[in-house]
Chains A and B, each alone.
Chain A
Amino acid sequence: MRIMKKLLSGNEALALGAYHAGVRVAAAYPGTPSTEILEALAGYPGIYTEWSTNEKVALEVALGAALGGVRAMSSMKHVGLNVAADPFFGASVTGIQGGLVVVSADDPGMHSSQNEQDNRHYARFAKVPMLEPSDSQEAYDLIILAFALSEEFDTPVLFRTTTRISHCKTVVEAPDNLAPKVGEARFVRNPSKYVMVPGYARPRHRAMEERMERLAAYSEVFQYNRVIPGEPKLGIVASGVAFQYAREVFSDASFLKLTMTYPLPAELVRRFASSVERVIVVEELDPFLEDSIRALGIPVEGKSLFPIVGELSTEVVEEGGRKGGLLPPAPTPWGRGWRQDSVQVAVEVGCLPTEVGATATQRRLQSADPAGQGKCDAQPGDGAAASLPLRPPVLCPGCPHSACSFALRRLGFYRSMPTSGQADGGKLPGSMRPSGLIVTSDIGCYTLAVYQPLLALDTCVCMGASIGMALGMEKAGIQNTVVAVIGDSTFLHTGIPALVDVVYNQGRTTVIILDNETTAMTGHQGHPGMGVNARGQKTTKVCLEDLCRGIGIKDVHVVDAFDMEQVSATIQGCVARDEPSVIIVRGDCPLHVRAPGEPFAVRQEDCDGCNTCLRVGCPALVRVGNKVTIDPTMCVGGNCDVCAQVCPREAIVLGSQIEARVQGPGSRVGLMESEELVGGCPRDVGVDVPRPEEKE
């Protein structure tokens, strides 16, 4: 067998391992940082792969396949396992026939998530074994072992990665031309194991407890739980990527590297602890290992040195090491050669516009806080560097969510759009309007509309929450009108039961489905409303408007996402009626299928600098002096003319309609020469630029 040495991400390695292990069925719902696992699997022959409507369905599909005797896998991001918790716990009770592996990709530091949760707790909670790789090679090796373990112990296996394991690329040695052995599908009827009525479930609970005892014994001899001998003064217990940081920082220490982190190999831990003078646990998020080790009666330190919030890094582990007296103190707090007066310098050279001083100060405080990990990735800031303009993600040029978000903002808590006079004065466009429209939103690209300049959203909690929350506000007696905004993929994920609830319980909620006909934020995966499967093949398409009518919504509208007046008028019409309604705002994602059209341009003699167009939040629009220009390299034109629709002076036209074409910033090379072009503007445009961390 030929061995290849490849550089693979943890997700790619995991998919390759699953393929080599003979996985037959894999189901997932896209979610960062787990998405690439199923994408990679879809490229291998002989595996049925699907994007499921949600993680619960995905795990149920995998469980069904596993009960059918073949190896099956379901992968999801951390919050996905919340959705799939029901079948996850159920699978622990029934056990399996073919191996079943559930991959949970956690996101410490919330690079692309709405919360930070430590899914290791799920292993203990559901009483299943858990494996945690610390690089891509282990991801490959361990996923193969995970299937074997699942079958040997008749249990699903929780395979837990984190962003840095899933997305980092490290070297993997693996067979190049392995022909996987795929088991034959065969269901063996066994109601006392697979039909969980109380009479059958009671003995299964006893079987689960016995299984955990056998697994605990196995964990003691599991080859990937190992001691790396070193100085006896310091003993580090670590797993996952935290192990890598700790190895780098405490290079001479003794290590107990844990890979099966549940159940814990108690005797191995005891032996290790008795061989070293001091036991330190380095782990991300919760004190999962630390608490278990302390419960064994072993004196141990962990979260007293390392933060419970955010992801770890070499720097953070080093900081904890100093705090615990394990390392000599640092020569300077922020590395070598960094001048302490950097912030002052930044002000002197005019890098800090005075009106954003407060915001910049807050940013500096955040970045000067070494415990604010997770921030150091997106915002490495040091003094002057922290005061540099941020580059947060924004809605793309030509985004079909822009017009609707703009319309919602006009109906929302902001009283009015600025007139040209107000804009020039740099004043806020009027005060807040207490009776404004409340917008409950959901998880997707459109959540970016919470930021300036769109300011269109009021809530975002979890997948599918928008509709139920809107109904709840209505039933609570909130006097403001409430609308729910949800994406097409998210609506299909968990929005449908909530819409049924609205109909059944006589709500009058208006639900806006932003339908860009793809799962955009995670990278354009297929979904039922798009009619394209995980392998990119055409499949049956679920029609959203038919679905909504079938549920019992009578007031269903489909509107063009780029027609501002139609979008706005339809929303106002629907909220005025005393019945539930659905507005499907349909328009393609510009990154997905649309070819760019002719770019628009601003007729400079007609532009009075009112900034109304800037409030659409399109990154192709650039303020130059007191006027706005459109960057022709960014404008996608075509069916998006939203800026032209909102311009009160009709100054925005197709580029070819301007005779003496005013040159935009073009490729933007050399824009730095035109510092004086940056003038005053309304304070609510991009002043409080948020950090680039987003929901997904």
Chain B
Amino acid sequence: MTTGLSSAPRTLRVALMGNPNTGKTTLFNRLTGSRQKIGNYPGVTVEKKFGSWEYGGRTVVLVDLPGTYSLAAASPDERVALDFLTGNLAGEQPPDAVICVVDASNIVRNLFLASQVADLGLPLVIALNMADAADKAGIIIDTALLSRRLGVPVVRTVATKGDGIEALEKAVNHVVDDRSLMACVPWPESVDRAMARLAEGVDEAGVQRLSPGELRRVLFDPRSAVLERAGWPADADPALLLAPARGILAADGIQPASAEALLRYEHLGHLTADAIRFPEKRRRTWTERVDAVLTHRVWGMAVFILMMFLVFQSIYSWAGPFMEAIETGVAWVQELVAPWLEPWPALQSLAVDGVVGGVGGVVIFLPQILILFFFIALLEDTGYMARGAFLMDRIFGWCGLNGKSFVPMLSSYACAIPGILATRTIEDPRARLTTILVAPLMSCSARLPVYTLLIGAFIEPAYGAAAAGLTLFAMHFVGLAVAVPVAWGMNKFILRTHPQPFLLEIPPYRRPRLRDILWRMWERAREFLVRAGTVIVAITVIIWALVYFPRPDSVGARVESELAASGAGVEDISRRIDAAYIEQSYLARAGRAVQPLFEPAGFDWKITVGVLASFPAREVIIATLGTIYGVGTDADEESDDLRSALARDVWTGGRRAGEPVFTVPVALAIMVFFALCLQCGATVAVMAKESNWGWAVFAFCYMTFLAWAGAVLTYQLGTRWLAL
């Protein structure tokens, strides 16, 4: 044994697998502690998580594979799992061993996946997790006997309490040395013949060869992605290859479609029969009693709406004080830095407005992200999330979303960033992508200042407080009303992947652990800071440069001499200088250039510049308009100065010379534009990280177009037909 150890590799690679709802993530955290890294597998949006531990003089690197019920490779998660295990993932070697997490209350169904792994010839350890719940349910498991029957170590674990972790580490070390393989299914001889026939066909086609494990997957799963990977010439039809092989099975009286499941379950039933004893009489569980209320057609819906209201309130209001504190902190740092860089105005502006402002623009999202993920972790760990999806699926299912889209969509009403991060809870990749693409249409809290300013300045004076309230309410529905047909259209015409059936396990209710919840909050926050934060800071700096440059001294000098002659105050002069610089900045030049495009929406060049300047962050419009109208950058949406400056502004040329720029239709058109436009660099960055840059750019383009069309439509309807 000792000689075996010395010749064995010092670093082991181990995969962690298991069905969903088996406590796999908690077990991963217990095994690896804080030594974790998160990334994505190349080309797919499946999350790659790995960590490590030391045992018996070895470093063990544990890779957390997505939770799946099977290795059929019909979904991206399953495909990544299978490709990882067979060493077909770019840059990855097959693992030295696999830990399969099994729910101790439902051993046979969970072992189905383990037996598929065993067929690939990989050493295996079974972690019998949530063993305490099985005890409580009266299920008696003879672990030693089970281990003998299966031929691999079976370790009782309770991940939430940290029980069995060391035994699991020891067992991993042991199976690598011993190469313990789980008892394989005694396949009928016709299965071997069918696989041989398939292998011949693959050889004849001259494509990449498949391992026996992969051949078996192809034989049993007509939807398996394994065949696609082999690299077929464009005119070849892999299905033709399958027909004769599957014909061999049929001739032997084996139905290919259900053969694998039937044979595996039969085999596992035999192996486990005398090792597991279930209680004689089924008791009505606590879960069933709770569910009688929580999925009730009246009470269940009421509780769900109440819970979601609580979640929404928490991110919408509770995060407020923390966000204000961050804003104050950022302003404090800016004031601290500014005097140091006084001699170099460009550098000062870059540091203060570009870098510190950009970092502040990232950190500002943390309170909402942390609070939302506290609730999401709570909803998921208790098992309530599955009930919510069950209640809501009908509402979302028909347009290509699913019941799990609800939490991300609702969260996006506070802020699309935590909302998009929350789509991680959606397993179906297509529903997840659709949710990501429509989430930014929900009216987030950053749009509120724009609505408040324009409604306060134009709707309320003209039509009264009731109309103002109604307009504000309606603005929150514009995005949702557009999102539903957009989601439907995207599924119908753009996303061509196979839809995944919506099969959702309803797990028993479980007591959440604060430690795991806090860990999840920290994990998401850290990931946001590292992955999206860097992009957000970069975008902020670029936009800063477009507003700041060019900066010829002559502009400032001209304004100063003009105003000094008229006896204006120092503060007034400095505001006018800012306005003069922004008027000739690269961004303003762009604004003037594209203004004709916004002419049919009633926007003048100032509004257009404001709109362009708001693409990195929509709330910037207020400060930008404040600068352009010379009322200072500290103008806010309640500012009377800004409101009256807007109301006073008139067209200086063209056919509308002398008419006011801001009318009710213009105000409405601006609001519709802001409601539908993706004016948030941070959201674009997060979308890119959660899907890819292609989809992020697509979302940006379709929303910009919708916003433009919506604004034009609003203005034209308002001026021509409603005569507002």
Q: Do A and B come from one complex?
A: no
Instruction: Please report A residues at the B interface, Cβ cutoff 8 Å.
Output: none
